[in-house]
Structure 1
Amino acid sequence: MKKKGILLVIAVIMLLSCLPGCGGKAKDMNEKIKDIEFTVLGEDNLPEELKQIIEEKKEKEFKITYQDNDYIYICIGYGKQETGGYSITVNGLYMTGNAVYVDTNLIGPEAESRELYKAQEKESASYPYIVLKTEYFDKSVVFD
């Protein structure tokens, strides 16, 4: 009985000594390896099937990927906005050991511009979205 208790203590000590090393590997997998080059595409340069998908989803926020040949299209939509004048910035597109991360922000018009947009058009809603085209990677895409 005493031997079993000692063996159990030794097994627990060995397991605990492994934990910091195991956690380090998971951390390494999420560290940035490199930035990814991309092209921002306008509606005219999108594959027809992707245009249709975006048209169906544009009313609400969406985050999708679309693969075509050797490329992946990363699409982020911000849903219906009451006016025009919005822009989208790409804060980062980079690869880690286990995924591709994309981070974007929607930038709205200043309050004065918003009122101008409303005055110019009766129906002034807009549907801001961005499509990033990059080479295909066999990794999942994580939207930040």
Structure 2
Amino acid sequence: MKKICLLVIVSIMAAMLSACGGETEKEENRNNLEFTVVSEDRLPDELKEILDQKKESAFKLTYADEGYLYICVGYGKQESGGYSVTVNELYETDNAIYVNTNLLGPKAGSSPGTSPSYPYIVLKIEFRDKTVVFD
């Protein structure tokens, strides 16, 4: 009976250790990507049209053009201006590209105005034929 309990405990510990090892391996294969934030006036015309059609609602999309991949994240209609979008992470693994952004509201004490805004960000990277995962 003691041998069976010991075998079960050793098996559980081995499984836990192998799971931890896999996580470390994933972290090692993670490469931060260099990117450019693209202003609206520098976007390809077709992408401008797509973003204009989608801006009312939140969106996440990619667009490829001339050797570049554009990663776009929009937060939909906001009741005022003064919003900005930040990039928390943009990295690549063996299987995918991961992007994480955040919407920041108007700064305290600022006068954001009364006109609605449509905050979004477009990141430009060299083209990679990988799935983009939006976190």
Pairwise TM-score range, normalised by the shorter structure:
0.7 to 0.9
Residue type matched to 1:103 in 2?
N
Aligned alpha-carbon RMSD (Å): 2.3
Q: TM-score of the superposition, structure 2-length normalised?
A: 0.79
Q: Does 1:128 align with 2:119?
A: yes
Q: What is the CA distance between 1:33 and its match in structure 2?
A: 2.1
Q: What is the CA distance between 1:25 and its match in structure 2?
A: 9.0
Q: Superposition pairs for residues 4-43 of structure 1, below 5 Å?
A: 20=15, 27=23, 30-31=26-27, 32-43=29-40
5+ residue gaps in structure 2? Answer: 1-10
Instruction: Specify the alignment match of 1:74 in structure 2.
Output: 71
Bigger Rg, structure 1 or 2: 1
Q: Does 1:95 align with 2:88?
A: no
Residue type matched to 2:50 in 1?
I
Structure 2 CA distance for partners of 1:47 and 1:22, relative to 1, 3 Å = farther
**Equivalents in 1 of 2:102, 2:117: separation in Å?**
16
**Equivalents in 2 of 1:84, 1:111: separation in Å?**
13
SS of 2:112's partner is helix
Instruction: Specify the alignment match of 1:62 in structure 2.
Output: 59
Give the structure with the higher percent helix: 1
Q: Structure 1 segments of 4 or more deviating over 3 A?
A: 20-32
Q: What is the CA distance between 1:79 and its match in structure 2?
A: 0.1
Q: What is the CA distance between 1:110 and its match in structure 2?
A: 3.2
Q: Does 1:137 align with 2:128?
A: yes
Residue type matched to 1:110 in 2?
K
